[in-house]
């Protein structure tokens, strides 16, 4: 009970309602999130998959929707800021949550944004390459500490320091004219910073829309649910013009959401959440904010990568997919050479000591030409097999060593 009381008090104390211009949003740690919507014209429809490769993941039956959704938001915030894709290990977050809160289930079980955020900051972030999700099915309460003692050696304490949590006012009880500023602020965040987590009662339905004379089946969350089951999903875009009829009422305008039950769920994992849905209880996300306490950060990534996204426009308008080039610069085809250049900042007296590259846990640094200076480093190779590669950057300030991780991916081209 003491722990629960501390959590409730912390949430009430650190989150307060504020007015930022015309946008009604709440903010973490007393910092106002200023929407930039007033300074730009956003499209009537947009999806992060228009510009970036965004995989559909599958949490199976572990009740870790909150973990997957928040990992997507953190990964998206990094992606929007640096143009690189990183796959954050949900298994590690589940592991350290049970270390910090011993009475929680392991693996799996319900969780919250404060739990996720606090565990990342206290225990670090591990990449999927080091601790993949399938491994978590071997975790139990009896061996959870053994898992932690092993995987903590892969945890990056720097990665999350420049990403803060933000929230938006839930508008379910607002009048229609009051909802628009909140919707606009959420759109602006998606466009500029990445996906937004939403908690809602989860019941789905499907309908057939006619687009250019072609019948298209779409899947959506029922705007009025009869279940008490709360589920977390990722908002990855919007369509102001899509309409569905539910219980003889027409709903126009929807969020494009990505679920975490695999690509056979919905369309490629995608559903619609109507703007006027009555069962949404929270909107939360990560965004980039520079933090002087961060000892190392990658600020941008450039490369020779030419990799395509295949879902542009598939979830709005005529629901027809186009092919476009991804903005992610760390995803390659195996037919290309790998030529990566990273710009970075090292603060508080730290500088790069060495850089190592791993594949499947094996050190393969000798297969790469690696160089670095005070503000950039490069990784070159003419012969990379298909796989997920981890890059470990070790830094020193003359007294102690720290490290930070990044990654690149080679796909079948």
Over residues 241-270, mean pLDDT: 95
- Distance, CA of 297 to CA of 161 (rounded, Å): 9
- Distance, CA of 85 to CA of 52 (rounded, Å): 9
- Distance, CA of 29 to CA of 113 (rounded, Å): 13
Residue positions counted in the chain: 413
Over residues 291-310, mean pLDDT: 95
Contact call for residues 310 and 263 (beta carbons, < 8 A): no
- Distance, CA of 248 to CA of 81 (rounded, Å): 43
Q: What is the pLDDT of residue 226?
A: 87
| pLDDT cut 90: percent of the chain above it | 76
Model confidence at 356, pLDDT cuts 50, 70, 90, reads very high
CATH topology of domain 1-86+159-299+322-329: Cathepsin B; Chain A (3.90.70)
Over residues 15-20, mean pLDDT: 32
Q: What is the pLDDT of residue 31?
A: 38
Pairwise pLDDT comparison (31 vs 383), residue with the higher score: 383
Contact call for residues 90 and 68 (beta carbons, < 8 A): yes
- Nearest in space to 166 (alpha carbons), one of 286, 67, 12: 286
Over residues 136-149, mean pLDDT: 90
Question: Token digits for 15?
Answer: 């989150």
Question: Token digits for 46?
Answer: 């947009």
Tokens 């990654």 — which residue? 407
CATH topology of domain 332-411: Immunoglobulin-like (2.60.40)
Q: Which residues are registered as beta bridge partners of 340?
A: 303, 379
Q: What is the pLDDT of residue 26?
A: 39
- Distance, CA of 251 to CA of 273 (rounded, Å): 10
First-last CA distance in the chain: 55
Domain 1-86+159-299+322-329 shares a fold with domain 332-411: no
Model confidence at 168, pLDDT cuts 50, 70, 90, reads very high
Which tens digits make up the pLDDT trace of 83-130? 999 999 999 999 999 898 877 666 777 889 999 999 999 999 999 999
Q: What is the pLDDT of residue 28?
A: 41
- Distance, CA of 102 to CA of 105 (rounded, Å): 8
- Indicate whether 275 pLDDT > 70: yes
- Distance, CA of 304 to CA of 78 (rounded, Å): 20
Which tens digits make up the pLDDT trace of 198-214? 999 999 999 999 999 99
- Indicate whether 3 pLDDT > 60: no
Contact call for residues 150 and 126 (beta carbons, < 8 A): no
- Indicate whether 351 pLDDT > 80: yes
Contact call for residues 395 and 351 (beta carbons, < 8 A): yes
Ramachandran bin of 158, using left for φ above 0, alpha for ψ from -120 to 50, beta for the remaining angles: alpha
Percent composition of the chain: helix, strand, coil (DSSP 3-state, to 5): 25, 40, 35
Any idea of the CA torsion for 39, 76, 337, 322, to the nearest 10 degrees?
Answer: -70
Handedness of CA 269, 270, 271, 276 (dihedral sign): positive
Model confidence at 40, pLDDT cuts 50, 70, 90, reads low
- Indicate whether 326 pLDDT > 80: yes
- Distance, CA of 154 to CA of 151 (rounded, Å): 5
DSSP 8-state code for residue 348 = T
Over residues 179-194, mean pLDDT: 94
- Distance, CA of 105 to CA of 101 (rounded, Å): 9
Lowest mean pLDDT among 5-14, 72-81, 258-267, 303-312: 5-14
- Indicate whether 16 pLDDT > 90: no
Contact call for residues 350 and 317 (beta carbons, < 8 A): no
Helix (H) or strand (E) holding 241: strand 230-246
Q: What is the 3-state secondary structure (H, E, C) of 268-330?
A: CCEEEEECCCCCEEEEEEEEECCCCCCCEEEEEEEECCCCEEEEECCCCCCCCCEEEECCCCC
Q: Read off the pTM.
A: 0.89
- Distance, CA of 184 to CA of 278 (rounded, Å): 18
Contact call for residues 65 and 111 (beta carbons, < 8 A): no
Model confidence at 14, pLDDT cuts 50, 70, 90, reads very low
Q: What is the pLDDT of residue 20?
A: 35
Residue-wise DSSP of 212-234: TTEEEEEEEE-SS-----EEEEE
- Indicate whether 290 pLDDT > 50: yes
- Nearest in space to 151 (alpha carbons), one of 165, 137, 135: 135
Question: What is the pairing mode between strands 387-396 and 351-359?
Answer: antiparallel
DSSP 8-state code for residue 67 = H
- Nearest in space to 25 (alpha carbons), one of 228, 230, 178: 178
Over residues 263-289, mean pLDDT: 94
Q: What are the structural domain ranges in the chain?
A: 1-86+159-299+322-329, 332-411
Model confidence at 383, pLDDT cuts 50, 70, 90, reads confident
Tokens 């007296």 — which residue? 349
């Amino acid at each position: 009970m003491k722990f629960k009381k501390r959590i409730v008090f912390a949430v009430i104390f650190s989150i307060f309602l504020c007015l930022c211009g015309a946008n009604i949003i709440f903010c973490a740690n007393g910092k106002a999130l200023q929407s930039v919507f007033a300074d730009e014209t956003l499209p009537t429809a947009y999806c992060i998959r228009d510009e970036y490769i965004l995989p559909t993941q599958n949490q199976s039956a572990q009740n870790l929707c909150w973990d997957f959704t928040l990992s997507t938001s953190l990964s998206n915030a990094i992606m929007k800021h640096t143009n690189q894709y990183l796959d954050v290990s949900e298994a590690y977050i589940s592991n350290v949550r049970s270390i910090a809160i011993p009475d929680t289930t392991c693996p799996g079980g319900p969780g919250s944004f404060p739990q996720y955020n606090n565990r990342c900051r206290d225990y670090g972030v591990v990449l999927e390459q080091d601790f993949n999700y399938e491994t978590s099915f071997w975790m139990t309460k009896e061996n959870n500490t053994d898992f932690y003692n092993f995987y903590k050696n892969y945890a990056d304490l720097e990665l999350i320091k420049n990403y803060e949590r933000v929230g938006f006012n839930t508008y379910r009880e607002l009048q229609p004219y009051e909802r628009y500023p909140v919707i606009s602020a959420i759109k602006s965040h998606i466009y500029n910073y990445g996906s937004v987590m939403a908690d809602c009662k989860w019941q789905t339905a499907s309908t057939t829309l006619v687009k250019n004379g072609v019948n298209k089946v779409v899947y959506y969350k029922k705007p009025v649910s009869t279940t008490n089951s709360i589920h977390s999903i990722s908002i990855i875009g919007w369509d102001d013009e899509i309409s569905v009829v539910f219980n003889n009422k027409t709903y126009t305008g929807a969020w494009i959401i990505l679920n975490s039950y695999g690509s056979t769920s919905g369309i490629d994992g995608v559903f619609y959440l109507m703007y006027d849905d009555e069962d949404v209880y929270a909107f939360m996300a990560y965004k980039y904010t520079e933090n002087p306490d961060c000892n190392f950060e990658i600020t941008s990534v450039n490369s020779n990568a030419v990799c395509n996204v295949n879902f542009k426009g598939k979830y709005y308008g005529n629901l027809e997919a186009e092919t476009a080039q991804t903005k992610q610069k760390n995803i390659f085809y195996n037919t290309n050479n790998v030529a990566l250049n990273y710009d970075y900042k090292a603060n508080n007296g730290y500088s790069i000591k060495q850089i190592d590259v791993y594949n499947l846990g094996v050190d393969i640094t000798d297969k790469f030409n690696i160089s670095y200076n005070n503000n950039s480093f490069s990784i070159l190779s003419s012969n990379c097999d298909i796989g997920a590669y981890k890059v470990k950057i070790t830094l020193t300030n003359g007294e102690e060593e720290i490290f930070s991780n990044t990654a690149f991916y080679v796909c079948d081209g």
